[in-house]
Homo-oligomer: A and B are copies of this chain.
């Protein structure tokens, strides 16, 4: 069982938007045992769309299309599907009623002729209800291949995938189990890890594939396998993972791909009923934002003081001016004072603070670009560590945020 994804829209090919839909769809398909063979992004152009439909039809049993379903003239997917299937568009009453309902509820103007066009679907298509928008999903079959067309707006597409497409695929197709397990490591590079686990890698059974996924000071090791017996797959993968711990157990911080380190920290804090605050300088609130982006942050997160300006560190956060003058604003001493003071100010059990120079220009300190200090305050006391994070602003910030969560996690576990 093999699938392909075709995303339609000039905006992808001129680089105006990043195609995030494909990753979401691939993940959802993979979970139910459908392998994605290829993702193809093409223009809003009839000949090109027809060509892509034909190629995909010859290779795969399922073709998922997104994009080109808007009400305006540049959107031609629906018409092109009709041409490919030798079908014609007809007005669908249920879709029309849904459009009228959405306009009544959210826009409070009557629908126009252009909105009404959204209710046109190919006569032989099955309509998939789009709860969040006016363009319905379309499900059509041709010589054993199913074609699904959805709008490109991410939250509409996501709703359709979850509520309509996945359940229908489950019913209609026989699928193997696909199992991935991802081991997350920090502190060692890709090739250094590869050398440590070389023998283990050579001895892996043929049915288990290994991939190295490096990113910003972390390397994820992904083990993949597929087959018909789920339990046998789990046992096989777990046996291999177990052998990894004696080799690199000291750098493993978690398993399962969805466990971001901030999610692990959130879980630790929630379970142990500890509270947290942050005092952030060059990270600009990104630590705070990473936590509050997850539901349930109010259980442990009290708040953050983003003290971007030196004056804010002194006046609002109460870092002594003498300390700043003596050690500079980018120093272990100032980082510690920030962490200690925000912990006190917001009355939390733990606090994390950052100060550093992310460039491109030097700020109020003479330290080189990439020099950062991260401090952790706990009920046991406060410490700071210095890091050199390269010379790329965005990466300096993200690596520091990652590192802050790493230090925080260790500190909470060891408390």
Contacts and interface: CB of A to CB of B under 8 A. Distances in A.
A325 interface: no
Contacts of A70: 190, 212, 214
B292 A289 contact: no
A292 B306 CA distance: 10
Given A15-B28, A112-B191, A191-B115, A295 B393 contact: yes
Interface string A117-154: 00000000000000000000000000000000000010
Given A295-B361, A298-B308, A14 B27 contact: yes
A291 B284 contact: yes
A311 B345 CA distance: 11
A295 B14 contact: no
A322 interface: no
Contacts of A380: none
A302 interface: yes
A304 interface: yes
A218 to B, nearest CB: 13
A312 interface: yes
A43 B39 contact: no
A302 B298 contact: no
A211 B10 contact: yes
A304 B316 contact: no
A284 B295 contact: no
B16 A222 contact: yes
Nearest to A305: B305
Given A72-B190, A211-B11, A363-B298, A306 B285 contact: yes
A257 B16 CA distance: 8
A343 B13 CA distance: 43
Contacts of A19: 18-19, 22-23, 39
A309 B155 CA distance: 28
A291 B295 CA distance: 24
B302 A309 contact: yes
User: How many chain copies does the complex carry?
Assistant: 2
A286 interface: yes
A365 B41 CA distance: 45
A346 interface: yes
Given A22-B41, A282-B292, A298-B308, A14 B180 contact: yes
B213 A11 contact: yes
A293 B212 contact: no
Contacts of A48: 37-38
A319 B298 CA distance: 18
A140 to B, nearest CB: 23
Contacts of A394: 293
A306 B180 CA distance: 37
Contacts of A308: 288, 292, 297-298, 301-304
Contacts of A27: 14-16
Q: Which 7 A-B pairs have the closest CB atoms?
A: A285-B285, A284-B292, A15-B27, A15-B26, A304-B306, A285-B288, A39-B41
